[in-house]
A and B are shown apart, each in its own frame.
Chain A
């Protein structure tokens, strides 16, 4: 019987018999449906990638007002589309670390102030042009110049000089930075002919696919780039649909209109997983849902008020009810185990007595206003209501104000002293801290100003000894944990789902959801 099962597995994996047929015959051999399902998935994976076919993806976040200019990418759809047609110098490796893309290799001077990226020889843009070091230089210039409007500008600010040197690109920094390759993996920094200075929205790059049909905020069609240098990309055609409504996205997957979706709502993920022919994948990541206080505005300028609120939040309840268990508790720092060089700190737990103690100590007596909106993170008003309840047990009065979705990120976030917010995280601790916790950061959304923290951050960049660097980050984490304006109750998992029609999901890739947005290229049409 084993032979028979193996035979069927191979047939099914190669698409010679349909899934339904396979399940039927397995049933006849006395194999349970659940087991047969697992066997089929394993067999399909073992059979290896199949080339060809059309893979249909639906993701959230696109809008008809988006632009194809990679410098302006600001949502998941734009990031995914950039991955189709373009590539940066380097990219996060699936298991952590950095792998080469347009650059084949890279190295730094011993003090990490001068970095040299050696370009991959003989690769071309999708318009047939060869990729030159000048194109790379122009790209970095376009994203970092005086005139730029690039979302990556913040990362490139300490570049002093960038120049072409034969088939290499040399980047000189105004101070040491051991993490520069992580910066260069940013999803805005797609290498374009002449840096995209001539036509930023042309979508011409070195990526594994070429855009064939573009309807902003609605639909994108990408076809395999026949001259792509690597082996990335299995489906012949990828159709990307923008479906912003959660229920509609799940329904499209369940009814077979699409093969892959991102952001399954946590509340329904368990139910979706039970549907026939659907697989749900969860990946822990650096994204976190937060409550942020301005450390320089009363009453939050008093650390005891901050500590009172930190002790008064029930983190586990938030994970259970807002994330429905698809996530992990936070510890009032933006860093979790998904980061390299992570050190675990002692976990703060819900303790109404301590909360009350700190509030009494602060001398503050009154009600605290929290601003929230439906789009600050999924379930934010509900989380605010839970926070209000847990604080009331500590005798702290929290008032909630729901703000309009429209304009929340410009009028409330980073402007009002206490609000709900979301951070997607960054690939390294240095980037996360530099982006939001350095006293001079543009988005220091907690108005955190700690001299010791700033010094540690700059020193850590120059520290090439991993052990010492890890200790520095642990110290910074402790400072934020005890004094910061961040209340971080939870880290959310990415919840994606795929249909049985496609195979090849790899668990645990670093970066964004959908295998860091490489799932459409790395998975394949199986049946």
Chain B
């Protein structure tokens, strides 16, 4: 499919350019922020001499431009450097955090995305009847409650009272068996599912309803096809563009936006890692995390755009 190849090549090239711009923006951003890494490492009890000594050792007295290019040079040769604060290798720490984050996001998505689309289809099928209203009310209520509150409530009823699942993810070990890992993160998965479900479900419902009045749907109805076949085979494929956009937004959220859930359930993911290092102004780590998050957004947006184009025959074959 030459169109797909062309699109991919074009978009990946643009993506790399964007990543470069993002890296400059994040770097400048962290430089602008008040506060510095030395102060935050040594904390409230730091003496001025100790601060000065640490700054010199960390090299944060060098001019920003030189530091940026040193960093860029490192990245291009595959070296993310070491964290200013802990002195640990960034690639290594980041790697394990990222794989934890992706693991959680993957399982939450595996449950949430099909469920949301199914509920959306169900809501359309029983439009304006009680299943539609029930689904709407429950999903809306679930996103209206702040995440941490859902987390606490599940933690206490399921974790402490009923003891069905561990109340926090402290027993999570990356090298454990899949079953053990899933048990450890059952509650975070549940919270994340509740948080992203409504958005995708409502969009599925709205987008399908939007095409339900079209002439071809009426034709299909006249042919005597069952309601569900019409929705699934005819309406859904034609409303894929908005749905896929919202799904991608939520997938991105599952990767970059789950810091609250990570904190509440003590899950060692990327969000907490980034927050820890932003608050200490550890620029190399912030840069590395920023690049990963940017790549996630750019990649998912690219997928969304390409799927939109491929799903619409008129766009696939422009006149």
- Please indicate whether A and B come from the same complex rather than being unrelated chains: yes
Known A65-B285, A67-B86, A255-B159; judge A217-B45 contact (CB<8 A).
Answer: no
Is A66 located at the chain interface by the 8 A CB criterion? yes
Which 10 pairs of residues, A with B, have the shortest CB-CB distance?
A: A74-B43, A65-B85, A149-B54, A407-B35, A255-B167, A251-B167, A63-B276, A410-B35, A410-B39, A218-B268
- Provided the pairs A151-B42, A243-B170, A252-B167 are in contact, do residues A410 and B36 lie with their beta carbons within 8 angstroms? yes
**B78-123, CB < 8 A from A:** 83, 85-88, 93, 97
Task: Give Cα distance in the complex from A255 to B159, angstroms.
Answer: 7
Q: Which residues of B contact A405 (CB under 8 A)?
A: 279
**Cβ contact within 8 Å between B44 and A413:** yes
One of B57, B265, B266, B279 near A241 (C-beta < 8 A): B266
A216 to B276 CA separation, bound complex (whole angstroms):
11
User: Other CB < 8 Å A-B pairs besides A151-B46, A216-B93, 4 of them?
Assistant: A64-B86, A147-B57, A248-B265, A257-B168
With A65-B83, A148-B50 already in contact, the answer to whether A409 and B278 are too (CB < 8 A) is no
Within 8 A of A (CB), among B259-276: 263-266, 268, 272-273, 276
Interface flag for A341 (CB, 8 Å): no
B59: CB under 8 A from chain A?
A: no
Other-chain contact of B170, A63, A67, A241, A442 (Cβ < 8 Å): A241
Give the residue name and chain of the A residue nearest to B166 (CB).
Answer: A257
Taking a contact as CB atoms closer than 8 A, the residue among B168, B265, B273 that contacts A64 in the complex is B273
Contact of A67 among B35, B39, B85, B277 (CB under 8 A): B85
Identity of the chain A residue whose Cβ is nearest the Cβ of B43 in the assembled complex:
A74
A247 and B147 CA atoms in complex are apart in Å by: 14
A contact residues around B160 at 8 Å (CB): 251, 254-255
Majority SS of interface residues in chain A?
Answer: loop
Decide: A410 and B170 in contact? CB cutoff 8 A: no
Q: Which residues of chain A are within 8 angstroms of B170 by Cβ–Cβ distance?
A: 58, 219, 241, 243, 252, 257-258
Chain B residue numbers with a CB within 8 Å of A69 are: 87
What are 10 A-B pairs at a CB distance below 8 A? A64-B276, A65-B276, A146-B49, A151-B50, A216-B88, A216-B93, A255-B163, A405-B279, A413-B44, A443-B44
Are B280 and A65 in contact, CB atoms less than 8 angstroms apart?
A: yes
Question: Quick one: given A245-B264, A251-B155, A410-B39, are A64 and B277 in contact (CB under 8 Å)?
Answer: yes
Question: In this assembly, does B216 line the interface, its C-beta being within 8 Å of a C-beta of chain A?
Answer: no
Please tell me which one of the listed residues B57, B85, B87, B152 contacts residue A247 in the complex, with CB atoms under 8 A apart: B152
For A254, the closest partner residue in chain B by CB is B160
B-facing residues in A428-465 (Cβ within 8 Å): 442-443
Closest B residue to A67 by beta carbon equals: B86
In the assembled complex, which residues on chain B have CB atoms less than 8 Å from the CB atom of A251? 155-156, 159-160, 167-168
**Is B34 at the interface (CB under 8 A from chain A)?**
yes
Q: Does B41 contact A (CB under 8 A)?
A: yes
**In the assembled complex, A338 has its CB within 8 A of some CB on chain B:** no
B142-165 vs A, Cβ < 8 Å mask (1 yes, 0 no): 000000000010011001100100
Q: Which residue of A lies closest to B279 (CB)?
A: A406
- Distance of A69 Cα from B279 Cα, bound (Å): 20
Q: What are the residues of chain B within 8 A of A47 when measuring CB–CB?
A: none
Interface pair B266/A243, CB less than 8 Å apart: yes
**Nearest B residue to A215 by beta-carbon distance?**
B268
Question: B44–A409 contact, CB under 8 A?
Answer: yes
Cβ-defined contact, B163 with A67, below 8 A: no
Q: Decide if A248 touches B57 in the complex (CB within 8 Å).
A: no
Give chain B residues whose Cβ lies under 8 Å from the Cβ of A154. 45, 47
- Bound together, the chains give a CA A64 to CA B277 distance in angstroms of 8
CA distance A402 to B164 in the complex (A): 40
Given A243-B266, A251-B156, A407-B33, is A443 in contact with B167 using a C-beta cutoff of 8 Å? no
Any A CB within 8 A of the CB of B40: yes
Task: Tell me, yes or no, whether B53 is within 8 Å of chain A by CB.
Answer: yes
B interface with A by C-beta (< 8 Å): 33-36, 38-51, 53-54, 57, 83, 85-88, 93, 97, 152, 155-156, 159-160, 163, 166-168, 170-171, 263-266, 268, 272-273, 276-280, 282, 285
List residues of chain B with CB within 8 A of the CB of A146: 49, 53
Chain A min CB distance to B39 (Å): 5
With A251-B167, A406-B278 already in contact, the answer to whether A216 and B39 are too (CB < 8 A) is: no
> Which residues on A are within 8 Å of B, measured CB to CB?
58, 63-69, 72, 74-75, 146-151, 153-154, 201, 215-219, 241-245, 247-248, 251-252, 254-255, 257-258, 405-407, 409-411, 413, 442-443
- The distance in angstroms between the C-alpha atoms of A475 and B159, with both chains bound, is 54
A146 to B168, CA, bound (A): 45
Chain A residues whose CB sits within 8 angstroms of the CB of B263 once the complex forms: 244-245, 248
Are A248 and B47 in touch, CB under 8 angstroms?
Answer: no
CA–CA, A270 and B114, complex, Å:
44
Given A243-B266, A247-B155, A254-B160: A67 in contact with B41 (beta carbons within 8 A): yes
Q: What separation, in Å, do the CA atoms of A245 and B151 have in the docked complex?
A: 11
Contact A411 B34 (CB under 8 A): yes
Shortest CB-to-CB span from B69 to chain A, Å, is 24
Q: Which residue of A lies closest to B46 (CB)?
A: A151
Q: Across the interface, do A410 and B40 meet the contact criterion of CB distance under 8 Å?
A: yes
Cα A313 to Cα B19 with chains together (Å): 53
**Nearest chain A CB to B268 CB, angstrom units:** 5
Q: Nearest chain A CB to B20's CB is how many angstroms away? A: 26
Bound CA–CA A217/B86 (angstroms)? 10
Whether the Cβ atoms of B49 and A153 lie closer than 8 Å is: yes
In the complex, residue of chain B having the shortest beta-carbon distance to the beta carbon of A150 = B50
Would you call A149 and B50 a contact (CB within 8 A)?
Answer: yes
Task: Give the docked Cα–Cα distance between A74 and B42 (Å).
Answer: 6
CB < 8 Å: which of B48, B163, B264, B276 contacts A217?
B276
Inter-chain contacts of A67 with B (CB < 8 A): 41, 85-87
Cβ contact within 8 Å between A245 and B266: yes
Q: For the complex, what is the distance from the CA of A217 to the CA of B282, rounded to whole Å?
A: 15
Residue contact B53 to A149, C-beta cutoff 8 Å: yes
User: Closest CB of chain A to B131's CB: distance in Å?
Assistant: 35
A66 to B194, CA, bound (A): 33
Give min CB distance, B220 to chain A, whole Å: 52
Q: Which residues of A contact B276 (CB under 8 A)?
A: 63-65, 217
A263 CB to nearest B CB, Å: 15
Cβ distance A352 to chain B, nearest Cβ, rounded Å = 33
B contact residues around A254 at 8 Å (CB): 160, 167
**Chain B residues closer than 8 Å to A255, beta-carbon distance:** 159-160, 163, 166-167
Asked if residues B168 and A66 are in contact (CB atoms below 8 Å), the reply is no
Chain B proximity of A314: nearest CB distance (Å): 27
A248 with B264: CB separation less than 8 A: yes
- The answer, among A66, A245, A409, for a CB contact under 8 Å with B39, is A409
Residue of A nearest to B156 (CB): A251
Closest to B274 in A: A64
